[in-house]
């Protein structure tokens, strides 16, 4: 599967323009096979720590009551309300949060993982929206 990646950085639903930091995603499409692991890159630049922030990954193309992919808050994962299909398949790189890396590892990718993913860094009120489309 080829996954075109688009990143849009927003602040309160407005594009980020002149700020001292930015959220960065990949420049090229990602390629993944079914059952392979995939990293959804997202990082803060300059490399400010995200350790004490809330990092929330969600699917924006799903119902709002069942769209959580992964939540990191208060220095740990809080996935009680995580969508069932993602249980046990998501992880942040916790040792990298200190350097602003908020990327998500999605294990054993399935065709049902197709959708629009959004990484929200709540403390900074900044989000990075990823559009992922599976094509054969």
Domains present along the chain, CATH in parentheses: 2-132 (2.60.40.10)
Q: Which residues contact 58 (CB under 8 A, 6 or more apart)?
A: 67, 68, 69, 117, 118, 120
**What's the whole-number average pLDDT of the chain?**
77
**If we measure between CA atoms, which residue out of 128, 134, 109, 106 comes closest to residue 56?**
128
Average of pLDDT values for 23-31? Answer: 67
Higher pLDDT, 60 or 38: 38
Query: What DSSP character marks residue 32?
Result: -
Q: Where are the alpha helices (DSSP H) in 21-65?
A: none
pLDDT the model gives residue 1: 40
Query: What DSSP character marks residue 62?
Result: S
Higher pLDDT, 72 or 60: 72
Radius of gyration, alpha carbons of the chain: 14
Residue-wise pLDDT for 88-129, tens only, equals 999 999 999 999 999 999 999 998 988 778 888 776 555 665
């Amino acid at each position: 599967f080829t996954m075109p990646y688009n990143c849009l950085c927003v602040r309160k639903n407005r594009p980020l323009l002149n700020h001292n930091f930015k959220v960065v995603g990949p420049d090229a499409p990602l390629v993944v096979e079914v059952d392979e692991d995939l990293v959804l890159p997202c990082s803060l630049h300059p490399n400010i720590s995200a350790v004490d922030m809330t990092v929330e990954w969600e699917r924006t193309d799903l119902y709002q009551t069942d769209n959580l992919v992964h939540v990191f808050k208060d220095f740990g994962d809080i996935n009680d309300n995580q969508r069932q299909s993602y249980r046990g398949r998501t992880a942040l790189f916790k040792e990298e949060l200190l350097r602003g890396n908020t990327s998500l590892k999605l294990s054993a990718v399935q065709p049902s993982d197709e959708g629009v993913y959004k990484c929200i860094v709540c403390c900074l009120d900044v989000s990075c929206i990823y559009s992922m489309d599976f094509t054969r």
